[in-house]
Amino acid sequence: MEETGRTTHTLAALMELRKRILNGDFPGGTRLFEVPLAETLQISRTPIREAMSRLAEEGLLDRLTNGGFVVRSFTLADVLDAIELRGVLEGTAARLAAERSAPPAVLERLNHVLLQLDACFGRDANEVDFEAYSNLNGQFHTLLVTLSGSAVLQREIERATRLPFASPSAFLSGRTNIDVFRQSLHVAQEQHRALAAAIASREGTRAEFIAREHARIARRNLEYVMLENPELIISVPGLALLNS
């Protein structure tokens, strides 16, 4: 066989199918058939099956009762619930981090990220290094989960945030560098600070609810997109698979 970039056919199919699904090439509810996909991707049915199985694990496909897969379909309510769910889970991570003594070394790293996030803002309120912020924001959320000290929770949070629109950086991609989003970053960063402070001083309930509210920024951004700027839908990762 030819080299396809030093990877297995399964992984190639996985990435290609994921890309197409997130891109909206297959509307929600579309059934994916092995044979045509195998022909399209020029590989056999075996790695296609394996890839679809993993996409079901990711939550992008649903298994049919009598075999086969369909693209999972998401209503706006589903996406809002997925965001709320992330808030609940991250809130739990924050609470546990506060209740159980979070390791000082990791807390230190969290504060370091906090300072770096501060540095993303310029003197002018509208001046923000969007790219750097997005990257550091991801680090902050990862550290928060680590701080909880719960492998089980970490696993489920990673799972829930694998749906791109439920990820903490859903509205932070380069493609969505938009006034409204940029301005929300000041609020978000203040929440980051409060969250770190609450964890450091063992205020579990405070930490939990700050994290929930923090996730709701994404909810507001989503509502803005849907109601006032629908042409942005295609710019937000994963929103292409919103149906109806």
Contacts of 224 (CB under 8 A, 6+ apart): 180
Which of 15, 23, 29, 45 is the binder for DNA (CB under 7 A)?
45
Q: What residues pair up with 32 in beta bridges, in sequence order?
A: 69
Q: Pick what 129 binds: DNA, a second copy, none; C-beta below 5 to 8 Å, kind-dependent.
A: none
- Work out which of 19, 25, 29, 33 binds DNA, going by CB under 7 A: 33
CB 32 within 8 A of CB 70: yes
**Smallest distance, DNA to C-beta of residue 224, A:** 39
Burial of 102 (0-12, 13-18, 19+ CB in 10 A): buried
Task: Examine residue 12 and tell whether it contacts a second copy (CB under 8 A).
Answer: no
Q: How far is the CB of 67 from DNA (least distance, A)?
A: 2
Nearer to a second copy, 93 or 110 (CB): 93
Tokens, residue 241: 């698979």
Exactly one of 17, 21, 22, 43 binds DNA (CB under 7 A); which one? 43
Among 82, 128, 207, 241, binds a second copy (CB under 8 A): 82
Q: With contact defined as beta carbons under 8 Å apart, do 91 and 211 qualify? A: yes
Contact status: 67 vs DNA (CB under 7 A): yes
Q: How far is the CB of 53 from DNA (least distance, A)?
A: 9
Count of CB atoms within 10 A of residue 99's CB? 17
Q: What HEC string does 121-188 produce?
A: ECCCCCCECHHHHHHHHHHHHHHHHHHHCCHHHHHHHHHHCCCHHHCCCCCCCHHHCCHHHHHHHHHH
Q: Which does 88 bind (CB under 5 to 8 A by kind): DNA, a second copy, none?
A: a second copy
CB neighbourhood size of 174 (10 A): 9
CB of 18: closest distance to DNA in angstroms?
15
Q: Give the shortest CB-11-to-a second copy separation in angstroms.
A: 11
| Complex with a second copy: residue 77 or 115, whichever CB lies closer | 77
Give the length of the chain.
244
Residues making contact with DNA (CB under 7 A): 1, 8-10, 32-35, 43-47, 49-50, 66-69
